[in-house]
Amino acid sequence: MNSPSPTQLLPSGGMAIYELNKQMGLWMDALGTDSSQNTATSTVLEPEAKAPPHQLQDANEMPGSSRETDQEANKPNDKVLRRLAQNREAARKSRLRKKAYIQQLESSRSKLAQLEQELQRARKQGGLISGSPRDSFRGIPRAFNSGAATFEMEYGRWVEEQNRQGRDLRAALRAHASDIELQILVESGMSHYDELFRMKAAAAEADVFFIISGMWKTSAERVFLWIGGFRPSAVLKVLSPQLDPLTEQQVMAVYNLQLSSQQAEDALSQGMDKLQQTLSETLVADASATVNTSNCMGQMETAIGKLEALVSFVNQADHLRHQALQQMHRILTTRQAARGLLALGDYCQQLRALSSMWAAQPREPA
């Protein structure tokens, strides 16, 4: 007799519970298998999918950092850019200066050629030309010298610039300009006189007689000439009344400067007198000596060697003039210095105007 199956032994309700439990077990087995497979899969893939945060951050930042580094390396430094801009500006200014210098040389060469043509025409006519076309009224003949002619042209431009600076100073003083504005004009005026002394030193090396004789100045200016220029102590006497009011300390400083300038002028004048006496004795000895060509040439070389001391005297006199201007600049205030430079320029301009008026004055025939 066959034994009943478990489902047969159970009542109808128990049969249902049994089937339900059996089905639940099958579902659990299926779920357990899937869960284990998923877990295994996750354990294999997790190291790749879930890296540590810092590694992910480094991995994300590496490409960007590399690109930024390349960009920074390729990007020019601000300092380099500024240096390049400065170099370009310096090159531009250098080209402009070179162009202006070439133009000035061309102008000087053309004027020099014109003077040479005038010299040739004067020689053909049996005469000599005067100092320069702009000062032909002087009527003082002189031999042509390239160094002297160059200085005359440069001095003519210097006088024009001095007149322009004088107009600027006068306008600034009338407009009650600030001390800063006046200081700029004063510094420019002082530099302009420095340029004059530099030009004179070069011209004295080329032709010291031309500088000492004052042929580059007007006739009225030559009346007050002292070793190729103005006498500092005399100019201080003329300008001092134009600078009032001065403090007591300034008055004493100007007086001491005038006194020391006078002493230095006397020393240079004595040196010039001694040099002239020596040259006169040398020339007299040549004239009284027996006619001998070699002896005469030796004596003339000695005289020329002594004449070279004239260049030193001119330079020392200009140094004294330069020092007087510098000392006055230190003594005076900015506004007083501006008035002083203006007064000095007006004084020279009035002397030049006086010469022109005298030359233009009609003369009665003898």
- Kindly tell me the sign of the dihedral angle through the C-alpha atoms of 17, 20, 25, 31: negative
363: left (phi over 0), alpha (psi -120 to 50) or beta: beta
Q: What is the mean pLDDT of residues 286-310?
A: 64
- What is the reported pLDDT for 185? 95
Structure confidence at residue 29 (pLDDT): 56
pLDDT at 77: 77
Full-model pTM: 0.58
Helix, strand, coil % (nearest 5) of the chain? 85, 0, 15
Contact between 128 and 143 under an 8 Å Cβ cutoff? The reply is yes
Q: What is the mean pLDDT of residues 261-277?
A: 93
Has residue 178 got a pLDDT over 70?
Answer: yes
How many residues does the structure list for the chain? Answer: 366
Give every CB contact of residue 294 below 8 A, 6+ residues apart in sequence.
Answer: none
Mean per-residue pLDDT over the chain, rounded: 75
Q: What percent of the chain has a predicted confidence (pLDDT) above 90?
A: 41
pLDDT tens per residue across span 6-19: 444 444 444 545 55
Q: Using CA atoms, how far apart are residues 147 and 145, in angstroms rounded to an integer?
A: 6
Comparing 30 with 318, the larger pLDDT belongs to: 318
Find, among 239, 236, 268, 238, the residue nearest to 255 by Cα: 236
Left if phi > 0, otherwise alpha if psi is -120 to 50, otherwise beta: which for 126?
Answer: left
Name the H helices within 242-289: 248-288
What pLDDT shows up at residue 299? Answer: 65
Ranges of beta strands (E only) in the chain are: none
Range 83-90, long-range pairs (CB < 8 A, 24+ positions): none
